[in-house]
Amino acid sequence: MTITTAQPVPAADHGTYPEHPAGRRVLTGDRPTGPLHLGHYFGTLRNRVRLQRQGAELFVVVADYQVITDRDIADRLAEHSENLVIDYLATGLDPESATIFAHSAVPALNQLLLPFLSLVSIAELGRNPTVKDEIAHSRQSAVSGLMFTYPVHQAADILFCKADLVPVGQDQLPHLEVARTVARRFNERYGAGVFPRPRALLSAAPLLPGTDGSKMSKSRGNAIALAADEDETARLVRGATTDADRRITYDPAGRPGVAGLLLLAALCQDRDPGQLAEEIGDGGAAALKRTVTEAVNEHLRPIRARRAELAADRGHIRQVLRTGAERANAVADATLAEVRAAMGAVGSA
Ligand code: TRP
């Protein structure tokens, strides 16, 4: 078979919530590079918990190998990985039913990378817009091979457990496309039906701006971490960019700073940002910021309390990761055996 160019996926093939999650297998994950923030929370964490409560089977990968795509050292990797798990559990993921694991702890998952890499061309790897963007923003002098191949590794994250739903943000769609392409080509080359074609589940929540009006992101220093305390939250909100107009209005295009704060408070209180703006009226930025600080702190109070409890028992967190790795290994071993058999590898069953 010759390698063909990936076909663009019709938009309708990707879903937004609500779906019918009962019985579906869902895989998603994060890089352990630092604390999760409100952008993650409203963008994806809440959805995961909802999917779980509605009966989906969740696999959540702590993508530790991905940390070294754009940096030389994986700084404080174990600590960041454990903190990620603490954030997951504090926001409501149940480790009894969700499989939470680090992909470096699942050898068979990583071994899938080898056959998978044979199914994509160098040209395709070089065309991935998210990879291009990461290269443009990377502070490394040289671009590593892993930078180009990590979307294929991510395909292994998704396909090892034959996930059919992948909750992700818009920026991850090209990677999902790689996973779909790999699944299709593997089936075409080695036997139909080994892999399902996973679909993205895009968050319906609007993109949450950070305290400077641009996308909330740790590297931009505009993020409010779930783990931040109430004083720190107040300080971050106080420092947010607004404008001199005392009348508060919800105008995302014309007043991104003010609109971002309104949206944040509105999400926390589950209400409409325009209505909130009307309520604040002529109160100006000071009243707006007071409202936002209170809304965020109130919404996060139970999550932060739970976080503090979980953080006091690191042994439990490590046990969650060990149990998750055991379950993930069993699934990955079975998939790898199937892959080797389909390929007719010597020594396979
Ligand atoms: N690339 C994702 C990110 O940077 C993390 C990730 C790794 C992931 N493996 C995944 C997401 C599999 C979804 C599915 O946030």
**Which residue in the block uniquely carries the two structure tokens 């998939």?**
335
Ligand 1 center–CA 187 separation, angstroms: 23
Ligand 1 center–CA 63 separation, angstroms: 7
Any ligand 1 atom below 6 A from CB of 157: yes
Ligand 1 center–CA 154 separation, angstroms: 7
Ligand 1 center–CA 241 separation, angstroms: 30
pLDDT recorded at residue 86: 98
Any ligand 1 atom below 6 A from CB of 166: yes
pTM reported for the whole predicted model: 0.92
Q: Encoding tokens for residue 204? A: 């319906």
How confident is residue 348, by pLDDT bands cut at 50, 70 and 90?
low
* Nearest residue to 175 via CA among 220, 218, 114, 132: 132
Q: Where are the alpha helices (DSSP H) in the chain?
A: 38-40, 46-53, 77-90, 107-111, 113-117, 122-127, 129-137, 145-159, 173-190, 230-238, 256-269, 273-280, 284-311, 314-343
User: What is the spatial distance between Cα 289 and Cα 257, in angstroms, rounded to a whole number?
Assistant: 11
User: What is the spatial distance between Cα 211 and Cα 237, in angstroms, rounded to a whole number?
Assistant: 7
Any ligand 1 atom below 6 A from CB of 28: yes
The average pLDDT across 172-201 equals 95
**Which residue in the block uniquely carries the two structure tokens 């779980």?**
52
Contact between 78 and 33 (Cβ < 8 Å)? no
Which atom of ligand 1 is nearest to 169's Cα?
A: 15
113 burial level (CB within 10 Å; 0-12, 13-18, 19+): middle
Closest CA to ligand 1's atom 2: 30
Helix, strand, or coil here: 136? helix
N- to C-terminal Cα distance for the chain?
25
How confident is residue 163, by pLDDT bands cut at 50, 70 and 90?
very high
How confident is residue 7, by pLDDT bands cut at 50, 70 and 90?
very low
Q: Which of 26, 80, 128, 175 should be mutated for ligand 1, with most atoms under 8 A from CB? A: 175
SS (H, E, C) 197-246: CCEEEECCCCCCECCCCCECCHHHCCCCECCCCHHHHHHHHHCCCCCCCC
Any ligand 1 atom below 6 A from CB of 168: yes
Give, in order, the Cα–Cα distances in Å from 282 to each of 153, 287, 288: 52, 9, 10
pLDDT recorded at residue 16: 66
User: In the predicted model, is pLDDT for residue 3 greater than 60?
Assistant: no
Task: Among 8-17, 36-45, 340-349, name the most confident range.
Answer: 36-45
User: In the predicted model, is pLDDT for residue 8 greater than 50?
Assistant: no
User: What is the spatial distance between Cα 324 and Cα 60, in angstroms, rounded to a whole number?
Assistant: 9
Any ligand 1 atom below 6 A from CB of 70: no
How confident is residue 13, by pLDDT bands cut at 50, 70 and 90?
low
**What single-letter DSSP state applies at residue 292?**
H
User: In the predicted model, is pLDDT for residue 55 greater than 50?
Assistant: yes
Ligand 1 center–CA 109 separation, angstroms: 14
Any ligand 1 atom below 6 A from CB of 155: no
User: What is the spatial distance between Cα 67 and Cα 202, in angstroms, rounded to a whole number?
Assistant: 23
pLDDT recorded at residue 203: 77
User: What is the spatial distance between Cα 107 and Cα 343, in angstroms, rounded to a whole number?
Assistant: 19
pLDDT digits (tens, 9 = 90+) for 71-84: 888 889 999 999 99
pLDDT recorded at residue 220: 81
How confident is residue 303, by pLDDT bands cut at 50, 70 and 90?
very high
Any ligand 1 atom below 6 A from CB of 158: yes
pLDDT digits (tens, 9 = 90+) for 121-158: 999 999 999 999 999 988 788 999 999 999 999 999 99
Any ligand 1 atom below 6 A from CB of 182: no
pLDDT recorded at residue 272: 96
Ligand 1 center–CA 28 separation, angstroms: 6
Any ligand 1 atom below 6 A from CB of 154: yes
The average pLDDT across 218-239 equals 93
Share of the chain above pLDDT 70, in %: 94
Amino acid in the structure at residue 285: A
How confident is residue 333, by pLDDT bands cut at 50, 70 and 90?
very high
Which atom of ligand 1 is nearest to 27's Cα?
A: 14
Q: Which of 66, 131, 170 should be mutated for ligand 1, with most atoms under 8 A from CB? A: 66
Q: What is the mean pLDDT of the chain?
A: 91
Contact between 283 and 269 (Cβ < 8 Å)? no
CB atoms within 10 A of CB 215: 16
**Which residue in the block uniquely carries the two structure tokens 């990461």?**
134
* Nearest residue to 93 via CA among 125, 124, 62: 62
User: In the predicted model, is pLDDT for residue 12 greater than 60?
Assistant: no
User: In the predicted model, is pLDDT for residue 329 greater than 60?
Assistant: yes
pLDDT recorded at residue 17: 62
The average pLDDT across 99-106 equals 97
pLDDT digits (tens, 9 = 90+) for 203-224: 777 678 888 888 888 878 889 9
Which is more confident, 42 or 10?
42
Name which of 16-30, 58-72, 160-174 the model is least confident about. 16-30
CB atoms within 10 A of CB 88: 26
pLDDT recorded at residue 4: 37
Q: Which of 25, 84, 154, 171 should be mutated for ligand 1, with most atoms under 8 A from CB? A: 154
pLDDT recorded at residue 258: 95
